[in-house]
Amino acid sequence: MLILELFLFIIFVLIVAIIVLYYLYRKEHILRIKKSKLAWQMGTNQAKGNITQVAGTFGLLAEYDYLYTLSAVSSQGIVDLIGIKGDHLDFIEIKSPNAPLTAHEKYLKDIIESGDLKVSYKIVEVDLSKFTIKVR
């Protein structure tokens, strides 16, 4: 009888261990799937943003006398384009519908709309032979 009880106890411990390992693996697997979906969505959002940026830039070419790209397709710039038409200068941020402004974009928009933005034109000279930078 002792051998049978020992055998049943070992079987019970193995079954419990298998169940615990299964749930741990399942939890890890679900976490990996969520991360994979998040990475996929982030890549999709980035690609959609890039396409929106390029399409928006091309769409604006005919509306301005001059259109300057300030930032390439990236998340680094505060403003995407500067457009000049006649004596009017526009700071242009291209966004998908319902996409919110970042804190920096909102700050720039607010100071422009309040009239507190002071604009100047600067020429920066860079002399590589002397490693100097100066504003003229």
Instruction: Give DSSP secondary structure letters for 58-74.
Output: HHHGGG-SEEEE-S-SS
What is the pTM (predicted TM-score) of this model?
Answer: 0.58
pLDDT over threshold 90, residue 56? no
Residues contacting 121, CB < 8 A, separation 6+: none
CB 92: neighbour CB atoms within 10 A? 18
pLDDT over threshold 90, residue 104? no
pLDDT over threshold 70, residue 75? no
**Mean pLDDT of the region 29-43:** 86
